[in-house]
A and B are shown apart, each in its own frame.
Chain A
Amino acid sequence: MQQKQYNTIVVGVAFSPNIQANVFEALRMSEIFNASLVMVHVGEKTSEKEAALTKIIASFESTPPDFRVFLRSGNPVEVLLNACASEHADLLILGAVKREGLLKYYLGSVARKITRNAPCDVLLLIKPSVNRVACASGVVNGLAHPKTEEAIDRAFYVLSSLGAQKLTIVEEIPEDSVAIKVDDDRSLRKSTIAKERIKLRENSRVQLLLNDIPEKIKETLEVIVQPIFGRRGYSIGHYARVSRADLLVMNAPSKLTLWDRLFPHDLEYILSDLPTDVLIVR
């Protein structure tokens, strides 16, 4: 399979207290992936803003790579989505909002809309940092889903580029795939055996996917496979949090309807309560 490369990265920039950290993270990404960077700010084009941005970029630790700055007014969602399309972006970087006073991060409504409709991969950063913080481990979903192969592929690419050491592939298995209801010791024994069987099957499915990853990339990472019986989309987020992962890689869901937003599932659990930095693969 042809390894996908990030050639163009778009980042949304807002003049918030976090601006320096956000810009630095974006510059770092473009450096790491050797990609050109497009900074998009939605708002009126003023000379002060341009000056401020140039000043921040100038203070970056190394010479900034190839980059451009767009200042445009309009609907933020449309502006950013159009920028992604017109620049043929491969990756869009957005910052998350920290709920005041709490240790929780969530995505604002604008960022959510963009995430749902972006034509490219989206990276959501919860803790952008001015100084570089190394990325040590990642978690990727291993669902039985046509897009999973691509997600795993991308996780290897991004994590090995970031210099991570560990990748955990989490297979979320819906609880109702085990038909046996646990009532007493006997049914518990049966359901435990059934679960072991499903785990073996899922593990071999993931192993097949792993066979397609080039050896050179696989060597750099320690790969762990972890089956979890639980709610899809929810369990992996909780797992990423518990395992202190630095990056969570997820498939974008095939299609979102109003129903999905009312009754959150898959991605929506994670968007409403970001456990860590999240990369959504499209």
Chain B
Amino acid sequence: MYKRSVFSGLRSNVFAGFVVSLIAMPLALGLAIASGFPPIAGIIASVVGGVVVAILGGSHVTITGPGNGLVVVLLGAVTVLGEGDMQAGYLYALAAVILSGVLLLLFGFLRFGSLSDFFPATAIQGMLSAIGITILLKQLYVMFGDLETKGAALDLFLGLPSLITSLFTEGTTGQWYAAGIGIVSLLIMVFYSKIRNRFFHLVPAPMWVVLLALGFDAYFSFIGGGNPINKALLISLPENLLAGVPTPNFSKWNQPAFWGVVVSITLISSIESLLSIKAVDKLDPQKRRSNTNKDMKALGLATIVSGFLGGMNVVTVIARSSVNVNNQANNRSANFFHAAFLFIMVLVFQDQLRRIPLTSLAAILVYTGYKLAAPAIFVRMYQIGKEQLLVFLTTLISTLLTDLITGILIGLFATFIVHVLLNKAFWLFSRNLLKPNVLMYKENETQNYYVGIIHFCTFLNFYKLKSKLDKIPQNERAVVDFSLCSFVDHTVQESLQNYEELFDRKGGALEIIGLDIHETDSSHPFAVRTLRPLKKLRVFGGGRTKRQLHLEALAHEKGWVYKEAAAAQKRMLRDHPVYQTTSVEQVYNLIEGPNKRLSLFDINYSEGAFIAKENVQTTLLRVQLDRQIPVFSFDRELLLEKLSHLAGIHDIDFPNYPEFSRDFYVQGDNPQRIRAFFDAEMASFFSAYGFYHIMSNGRELIVRQFLRPATPAEAAAMIEFGLALKEKIDG
């Protein structure tokens, strides 16, 4: 184990910070406006957050700034505390932001890093979806150029038809243009990940939205006549960005409503930050564990500073962080560079920023809101269980009808009632809640860590199990035994899934035993459920498709095995440098060849998370080799370019075969060995199959043709290629 200095990989961190700042800028402006804060408040939060958390934080590749979860509660704070006066409300809200920063700092010192574990996962999801729906509805109005309409989510929803009709009947040309830009922006956000073009993807989606708006403005100033969108629908920034820091107004400190706001902001920002940190830890290619308490302190301090400067809360944000990881950031300096670039950009381009219509920023937020409340989330809840859907909907609706704190408390209560009803036993919880229920020790013979749980294990007492699990080095083997535990809930299952992945990534293993007994033992007095949502593959019901029949025939022709649904192995691609940040979600239509050394399968994998998530569905060929070959990638179009960002990887020239060298990109870490591998015969063989993208990790090859599933004919060709390739290399 060696230590990296802060400056190692500086180049990749600067680059990642730059890319993130491109996304952060429109998001920061949009989130601030949606929160009822001046646009610059979002930028302040990003810049302050980036600097403070980069220096003092405890996580590694996270990005901090204004968060989407807070939009609803901050807007509520500004309207309620200001009693109609937005400017006064803003100053009161700043005071609340500062105090929530103090609370966060306190949480950090009290080691409350696991606050989000005290709430049922489904209730949290319900609350986040409610936030998403609120953002979506509110911003939809802004997107159509209507800044006036305000109201509760239900009123906004019912008002949608009249919003669209009024646009056509009463709308001005300016409003039409603004709405048009908004709609095109939304289309960009939606279809960005569907369009697979390298040059298109050089600029992140939110930046395209900004560029579109600026292009629109430039076009009109070019043909003369100026921007047709009325001033009110454009971003307004103060004349001098560096002057005029607002003074937070603490005078409402003795009002309960004020403290309600403080508590809500603190709760939401800590939940959002913790969930993001957890998610980003799973993306970190270096597999480090974040120090959540330290991060909490840094976020608290950053929030205090940001509040005094007139900015929003600073939280850890998942979408920007995942873009950060995908651009090869490897330490906290990327967060700092993101802040620095953002600062410079805002100073240099403030004139341009004033030309961005609010409608295009609203489009970005509409998409963010949609992501929080996407139908897929509802479907997933239903798949986990009807009672989870019930809890989810209860929380969602009660959050929409009341406020966030009431909503999540109702969700918590609903979860508990569901648990009691499922077990038909209140005593199980009342009698055992305060008793210790977790045993952990290192077995002498096997050197495994044994973790046993008795009574019950739900969100109510998961922190006990968690504190034990956190003490196990994740490169060891751990066995979690539920056989003496009567009831395990969804929150625990989901968190354990997370632990399984973390152990898996670090080379250890976490195995869960004892749950299967419960599932089958229906005579057991407590209806114990095992909810393992990720194990549930999509049901391939109602007969096979033509393609599946073809693939099956193909397998039979060769005398190979065909499996409709195969168990997805999370780590199956992780050994390959190009795919190491991907998460495999599903493997299906698997054809397996002689001795399982050759296989062809359809695969769904994803990169990144939240709005930066990109899902890929493709067909891959996996060839396991008998002899060791160099690590390399072979590619005509440099689609596997990501490899070139990794340290120690070179583009390799082949002076002996100039044509081969010109037509193909071969990259790897050991030029000499790779040149030796590609002798004349091998080079001509690879040239003949130049349309494949081939990646070797030394022991196996992954071959891909398209970023879509292959047709049966293509699949057959791939298999033939695989056989020839194996023959060629293994001899």
Residues of A within 8 A of B (CB): 101-102, 181-185, 187-189, 191-192, 224-231, 234-235, 238-239, 241-242, 264, 269, 273
Q: Is B543 an interface residue (CB 8 A)?
A: no
- Beyond A184-B289, A238-B454, whether A228 also contacts B471 by CB under 8 A is no
> Does chain A have a CB within 8 A of B290?
yes
Q: List CB contacts (< 8 Å) of B435-485 with chain A.
A: 435-436, 438-442, 444, 450, 452, 454, 470-471, 473, 481, 484
* Residues of chain A with a CB closer than 8 A to B293's CB: 183
Instruction: Note all chain B residues with C-beta closer than 8 A to A102.
Output: 525
Are B473 and A230 in contact, with the CB atoms below 8 A? no
Most buried by A among B293, B441, B454: B441
A226→B471 CA distance, assembly (Å): 18
CA of A225 to CA of B443, assembled, Å: 10
Q: With A230-B439, A239-B441, A241-B484 in contact, do A188 and B473 touch (Cβ < 8 Å)?
A: yes
A182 touches B470 (CB 8 A): yes
Which chain B residues numbered 95 to 134 have a C-beta less than 8 Å away from chain A?
A: 111, 113
Closest to B445 in A: A224
Smallest CB gap from A272: residue in B: B435
Let me know if B338 is at the binding interface, CB within 8 A: no
Instruction: Give the residues from 475 to 528 in chain B that come closer than 8 angstroms, CB to CB, to chain A.
Output: 481, 484, 525
Complexed CA–CA distance, A188 and B468 (Å) = 12
Interface of chain B, main secondary structure: loop
Chain A residues whose C-beta falls within 8 Å of the C-beta of B291 in the assembled complex: 183-184, 187
Q: In the assembled complex, how far is the CB of residue B178 from the closest CB belonging to chain A, in whole angstroms?
A: 48
Q: Is the CB of B452 within 8 A of A183?
A: no
B contact residues around A225 at 8 Å (CB)? 444
Complex interface residues of chain B between 283 and 309 (CB less than 8 A to chain A): 288-294
Smallest Cβ-Cβ distance to B111: which chain A residue: A181
> Does B58 lie at the interface of the complex (its beta carbon under 8 Å from any beta carbon of A)?
yes
Instruction: Tell me whether A188 and B435 are in contact in the complex, defined as CB-CB below 8 angstroms, given that A228-B441, A241-B454 are known contacts.
Output: no
**CA A224 to CA B446, docked complex, whole Å:** 13
Which residues of the partner chain A approach B288 to less than 8 Å between Cβ atoms? 184-185
A sample of 23 cross-chain residue pairs with beta-carbon separation below 8 angstroms, ordered by A number, consists of A101-B525, A102-B525, A181-B111, A183-B58, A183-B291, A183-B293, A184-B58, A184-B288, A184-B289, A184-B290, A187-B291, A188-B470, A188-B471, A192-B471, A226-B441, A228-B439, A228-B440, A229-B440, A229-B471, A230-B439, A231-B436, A238-B452, A242-B450
Shortest C-beta distance, B368 to chain A (Å), equals: 30
Q: Please give me the residue from chain B that is nearest to A239 by CB atom.
A: B439
CB contact list, B519-554 vs A, under 8 A: 525
* Contact between chains at B471 and A191 (CB < 8 Å): yes
Q: Nearest-CB distance from A170 to chain B (Å)?
A: 9
Q: For the A-B complex with A227-B442, A235-B439, A242-B452 known, give 10 more contacts whose Cβ atoms are closer than 8 Å.
A: A101-B525, A183-B58, A184-B288, A188-B470, A226-B441, A228-B439, A231-B436, A234-B435, A242-B481, A242-B484
- Residues of B near A230 (CB, < 8 A) are 436, 438-441
Minimum distance in angstroms from A129 CB to a CB of chain B: 22
- Interchain CB contact (< 8 A) of A192 among B294, B444, B473: B473
Neighbouring A residues of B289 by C-beta, 8 Å: 184-185, 188
Shortest distance in angstroms between A111's beta carbon and chain B's nearest beta carbon? 19
What residues make up the interface of B, taking CB atoms closer than 8 Å to A?
A: 58, 111, 113, 288-294, 435-436, 438-442, 444, 450, 452, 454, 470-471, 473, 481, 484, 525
State the Cβ distance, B344 to closest chain A Cβ, in Å.
Answer: 32
A229 pairs with B441, CB closer than 8 A: yes
Q: Known contacts being A101-B525, A188-B289, is A269 close to B436, with CB within 8 Å?
A: yes
Instruction: State in angstroms the CA–CA spacing of A254 and B58 once bound together.
Output: 45
* Contact status of A189 and B473, CB under 8 A, knowing A226-B441, A235-B439: yes
A229 to B470, CA, bound (A): 13
Q: How many angstroms from the CA of A53 to the CA of B489 in the assembled complex?
A: 50
- Which residues from chain A contact B294 at a C-beta distance below 8 Å? 183-184
Chain A residues in 8 Å Cβ range of B525: 101-102
Given contacts A101-B525, A188-B473, A241-B484, contact A269 B441 (CB under 8 A): no
Q: What is the minimal beta-carbon distance from A55 to any residue of chain B, in angstroms?
A: 36
Q: Please tell me if the beta carbons of A226 and B444 are within 8 angstroms of each other in the complex.
A: yes
B444 in contact with A224 (CB, 8 Å) = yes
Question: How many angstroms from the CA of A276 to the CA of B386 in the assembled complex?
Answer: 39
In angstroms, how far is the closest chain A Cβ from the Cβ of B455? Answer: 9
Residues of chain B within 8 A of A229, CB atoms compared: 440-441, 471
**How far is it, in angstroms, between the C-alpha of A23 and the C-alpha of B470 when the chains are bound?**
48
The answer to whether B484 touches A182 (Cβ under 8 A) is no
Closest 7 CB pairs of A and B: A238-B439, A184-B291, A228-B441, A183-B291, A234-B436, A231-B436, A242-B452
Query: How far is B526's CA from A102's CA once the two chains are assembled, in angstroms?
Result: 11
Closest to A181 in B: B111
Residues of A within 8 A of B473 (CB): 188-189, 192
State how many angstroms separate the Cβ of B524 from the closest Cβ of chain A.
10
Chain B residues positioned under 8 Å from A242 (CB to CB): 439, 450, 452, 481, 484
Q: Counting chain B CB atoms within 10 Å of each CB, which of A102, A183, A224, A269 scores highest?
A: A183
Question: A269 to B662, alpha carbons, bound, how many Å?
Answer: 75
Bound Cα distance A188, B289 (Å): 10
Smallest Cβ distance from B231 to chain A, in angstroms?
Answer: 50
Of all chain A residues, the one with the shortest Cβ separation from B470 is: A182
* A178 closest partner in B (C-beta): B471
Q: Which chain A positions have C-beta within 8 A of B442?
A: 227
* Nearest Cβ on chain A to B153's Cβ, whole angstroms: 39
Q: A101-B525, A226-B444, A238-B452 are in contact. Are A182 and B471 (CB under 8 A)?
A: yes
Question: Which residues of chain B have C-beta atoms less than 8 A from A181's C-beta?
Answer: 111
Contacts of B481 in A (CB 8 A): 242
Closest to A199 in B: B442
Q: CA of A230 to CA of B292 in the docked complex: distance in angstroms?
A: 23
- Tell me which residues across on chain A come within 8 A of B471, comparing CB atoms: 182, 188, 191-192, 229
Contact indicator A269/B58 (Cβ below 8 Å): no
Contact (Cβ within 8 A) A269 B435 = yes
How distant is A265 from chain B, measured CB to nearest CB, in Å? 10
Provide the bound-state CA to CA distance between A227 and B441, in Å. 7
In the bound assembly, the distance between CA atoms of A125 and B589 in angstroms comes to 58
A231 to B293, CA, bound (A): 24
CB distance from B259 to the nearest CB of A (A): 30
Q: How far is the CA of A234 from the CA of B432 in the complex (A)?
A: 13
Q: Which of A224, A234, A238, A264 has the most CB of B within 10 A?
A: A238
Contacts of B439 in A (CB 8 A): 228, 230, 234-235, 238-239, 242
Instruction: Tell me the complex Cα distance, A231–B435, Å.
Output: 11
Q: Report the bound CA distance from A54 to B454 in whole Å.
A: 42
B455 — nearest CB in chain A belongs to which residue? A273
Instruction: Report A53 CB to chain B, min CB distance, Å.
Output: 36
Contacts of A183 in B (CB 8 A): 58, 113, 291-294
Q: Please name all residues of chain A whose beta carbon is closer than 8 Å to the beta carbon of B444 when the two chains form the complex.
A: 224-226
Minimum distance in angstroms from A188 CB to a CB of chain B? 6
Which residues of B sit under 8 angstroms from A264, Cβ to Cβ? 435
Distance between Cα atoms of A175 and B292 in the complex (Å): 21
Contact partners of B292 in chain A: CB under 8 A: 183
Q: How far is the CA of A153 from the CA of B711 in the complex (A)?
A: 75
A56 CB → nearest B CB, Å? 33
Q: What separation, in Å, do the CA atoms of A93 and B58 have in the docked complex?
A: 57
Contacts of A192 in B (CB 8 A): 471, 473
Distance from A244 Cβ to chain B, minimum over Cβ atoms (Å): 11
Give Cα distance in the complex from A102 to B450, angstroms: 26
What is the minimal beta-carbon distance from B30 to any residue of chain A, in angstroms?
Answer: 34
Q: Across the interface, which residues of B come within 8 angstroms of A191, CB to CB? A: 471
Q: How far is the CA of A181 from the CA of B485 in the complex (A)?
A: 28
Output the least CB separation between A109 and chain B (Å): 16
**CB-defined contacts of B452 to chain A, threshold 8 Å:** 238, 242
Q: Which chain B residues border A239 with CB–CB below 8 Å?
A: 439, 441
Q: How far, in Å, is A106 (CB) from chain B's closest CB? A: 11
A264–B434 Cα distance when bound, in Å, is: 10
Give the chain B neighbours of A238 by CB distance below 8 A.
439, 452, 454
Q: Nearest chain A CB to B117's CB is how many angstroms away?
A: 15
* A192 vs B444: C-alpha distance when bound (angstroms): 15
Residues of A within 8 A of B440 (CB): 228-230
Q: Please give me the residue from chain B that is nearest to A101 by CB atom.
A: B525
